[in-house]
Amino acid sequence: MQQKPLYDRVALIGLGLIGSSLARAIRRKALAGHVAGHARSQQTRDQSMKLGFLDSVHASPEEAAEGADLIVLCTPLGAYDAVLERIAPVLAPGATVSDVGSCKASVAESFARHLPAGVHGIPGHPVAGTENSGPEAGFATLFEQRYCIVTPAPDTDPAALKRLIALWEGVGAMVEPMDAQHHDRVLAITSHLPHLIAYTIVGTASDLESQLKRERASENALVETREVIKYSAGGFRDFTRIAGSDPVMWRDVFTMNRDAVLEMLGRFQEDLVALQRAIRWGEGDKLEDWFTRTREVRRGVVEQGQAGRFYATEKDGED
């Protein structure tokens, strides 16, 4: 006897990497009777139906959300308020609204502003993704053995929370409840700051390459190769992979989580100054101690299975 789906109708507002992957995973595990989607562009809507991971696609978020017992916001954080304002009048009593954004305190505030009484707002964050975007980038196994953090308010309905957790566990995720403010501080150092550093390093490298080209041009030398790309080693390739992420999404992350990011950036700058001093004064023992300690952190990430499907097996000293 087939088990009844967790939700009758799930509406996904936004059909990029996360939204399309969640739709695929829900349909694969039969966790919803109907999966509806919304995207702003006709091209994305047509592509999503062609790829076959939706039961219906809609031109407006309210059309997708009407009658749904779970609505998941999969848009950039900066679009949440506008979307919530539009869908609030059509939300069914007892429905749950969640999301997949990388900041949670601001989402909780948006839910409190817009959701009507009787609708459960439970922020969520699947800590999974790639640098790719768009409906064609999604895949059903994206969330398997990845953490999904949920940040329910103290008065959240236990049954609604239990059902949402069951959905994320159903698509393969490991669910961790957490305080929203704590989530934002943790993710500031594990995700947001690394992206900021990646964007900075790649931008610095691009500026350097432009300078080298100008110098060679002034010397009447042939400038045909892009040295930053041509001589990219493993470390720089990883930075360019991270820096290839959706710029709109990360613009909103840094805007919405500015306090936690600035705190972690300050800590990072202090450590960077200490390393700069060690390099300047040739303090090799301090450098080796720092690198040994941080190497152990990397090993812990790998042992916990959180290194990513493409980085689970590594060679010491590659590149």
pLDDT tens-digit series, residues 247-283: 888 899 999 999 999 999 999 999 999 999 999 999 9
Residue 244 pLDDT: 79
- Residue 12's DSSP bridge partners are 37, 72
Asked if the model's pLDDT at residue 308 lies above 60, the reply is: no
Kindly report the number of other CB atoms within 10 A of residue 300's CB atom: 11
Residue 243 pLDDT: 78
10 falls in which pLDDT band (50, 70, 90)? Answer: very high
- For residues 82-96, give the mean pLDDT: 98
Residue 268 pLDDT: 92
Residue 235 pLDDT: 72
Residue type, 51: L
* Domain 183-303 of CATH type 3.30.420.140: no
Span 170-182, pLDDT tens digits: 999 999 999 999 9
The token duo for 188 is 């500031």
Residue linked to tokens 């450098």: 287
User: pTM for the full model?
Assistant: 0.82
The token duo for 140 is 């059903």
Distance of CA 256 to the CA centre of its chain: 14
Residue 234 pLDDT: 65
Annotate 241-280 with DSSP letters as a single string.
HHHTS-HHHHHHHHHHTHHHHHHHHHHHHHHHHHHHHHHH
Q: Whole-number mean pLDDT of the chain?
A: 88
Asked if the model's pLDDT at residue 311 lies above 50, the reply is: no
Give dist(CA 121, CA 108) in Å, integer: 8
Give dist(CA 185, CA 193) in Å, integer: 11
Residue 263 pLDDT: 93
Which of 103, 222, 126, 134 minimizes the C-alpha distance to 176? 126
Q: Which residue intervals of the chain bear CATH 1.10.3660.10? A: 183-303
Annotate 37-65 with DSSP letters as a single string.
EE-SSHHHHHHHHHHT--SEEESSHHHHH
The pairing of beta strand 70-73 with beta strand 7-13: parallel
Asked if the model's pLDDT at residue 161 lies above 90, the reply is: yes
Q: Which residue intervals of the chain bear CATH 3.40.50.720? A: 7-178
Span 189-232, pLDDT tens digits: 988 898 898 888 888 877 777 777 777 666 655 444 466 666 66
The superfamily (CATH) of domain 7-178 is NAD(P)-binding Rossmann-like Domain (3.40.50.720)
Q: Which range, 161-165, 225-229, 284-288, has the best average confidence (pLDDT)?
A: 161-165
Residue 130 pLDDT: 80
- For residues 157-181, give the mean pLDDT: 98
- Residue 121's DSSP bridge partners are 97
- For residues 302-306, give the mean pLDDT: 63
Residue 233 pLDDT: 63
List the single range of 101-105, 219-223, 313-317 with lowest mean pLDDT.
313-317
Give dist(CA 276, CA 170) in Å, integer: 47
Give dist(CA 184, CA 256) in Å, integer: 10
- Residue 57's DSSP bridge partners are 37
The answer to whether 174 and 146 have CB atoms below 8 angstroms apart is: yes
Give dist(CA 173, CA 32) in Å, integer: 17
Span 22-81, pLDDT tens digits: 999 999 999 999 999 999 999 999 999 999 999 999 999 999 999 999 999 999 999 999
- For residues 10-23, give the mean pLDDT: 97
Residue 209 pLDDT: 73
